[in-house]
Structure 1
Amino acid sequence: MSGLTPDSPRPTDIRLHQKSRLLEITFDDNTTCMLSCEFLRVYSPSAEVRGHGPGQETLQIGKEDVNITAISPVGNYAVKLTFSDGHDTGLYSWDYLYELASHYEALWRDYIGRLEMAGVKRKTDSNA
């Protein structure tokens, strides 16, 4: 993943819809996305989730009901999301949020596939 450049899309609006547990992000290139709190939690950029190298990722399970309890700006390049399960160590850069938005479908299918391979059933079958 590349770093921020002057041409990198940047959020112009970030809104949390707590009831539906969706984070709505609008970027300055007119891209708008709705990312579920579960999706953002399981794709946290933290070392706790991603590990310290390829193959060291930790599959996150039981995150269907997680919500975001706080959104804190980090400089003018990222936000720190605090989740209802206490997780708060991931810094979501603008580039990473844009990457998640751009590849949402494939990433979600990958996550569901990894859960199935691990024999884990999600509580709900709704699409996050």
Structure 2
Amino acid sequence: MTASPTELKLVAPDRLRIVWTDGQVREYSVRELREQCPCASCRERRMAPPPPPTTLTVLSPAETQPLRIAAMTPSGRYAYSIDFSDGHDTGIYTLELLRELGSEASS
């Protein structure tokens, strides 16, 4: 049986803490969660070759603001959907993925 979250808490505007049923406590930077988004478009972007160094990226107004978690809701009993302040909301983070990301923290 997979451990499941017993507590989700923003410990800072840019840090999420999850306490798991087996007692493990993990912390995640919001940036790490966003960069590791498991949705198809994000996976494709990570797999694509990097753009030429002379390419400039055009940012939306939301992307120029500090990245935050706007909402986090369960998807069944196996995952969470995270809505980010940059407007991205299509990633479904399985419990297994959340256990791989972040780092162990003291309780």
Instruction: Rate the CA distance shift 1:66–1:9 in 2: closer, same or farther, 3 A.
Output: same
Q: Which runs of 5+ in 2 are unaligned?
A: 52-58
Q: 1:36 aligns with which of 29, 34, 41?
A: 29
**Kindly, what percent of the aligned residue pairs are identical?**
33
Q: 2:5 aligns with which of 8, 11, 14?
A: 11
**CA-atom RMSD, angstroms?**
3.0
CA distance in 2, matches of 1:34, 1:102: 6
Q: Select the structure that is richer in strand.
A: 2
State TM-score, norm by structure 1. Answer: 0.62
Instruction: Rate the CA distance shift 1:63–1:51 in 2: closer, same or farther, 3 A.
Output: farther
Q: Which runs of 5+ in 1 are unaligned?
A: 1-5, 104-128
Work out the number of aligned pairs and report it.
94
SS of residue matched to 2:10: strand
Instruction: Rate the CA distance shift 1:64–1:58 in 2: closer, same or farther, 3 A.
Output: farther
Q: 1:55 aligns with which of 32, 47, 55?
A: 47
SS of residue matched to 2:89: coil
Contact 1:22 1:35 in 2 (8 A): yes
Larger Rg: 1 or 2?
2
- State the match for 1:82 in structure 2: 83
- State the match for 1:123 in structure 2: none
SS of residue matched to 1:30: coil
The offset of 1:101, in angstroms, is 3.1
Q: Please show how residues 15-26 of structure 1 align to structure 2 within 5 Å.
A: 15-17=9-11, 19-26=12-19
The offset of 1:48, in angstroms, is 1.5
The offset of 1:21, in angstroms, is 1.2
| Structure 1 stretch displaced more, 86-95 or 43-52 | 43-52
Bigger RCO of structures 1 and 2 (CA < 8 A, at least 6 apart): 2
The offset of 1:56, in angstroms, is 4.0
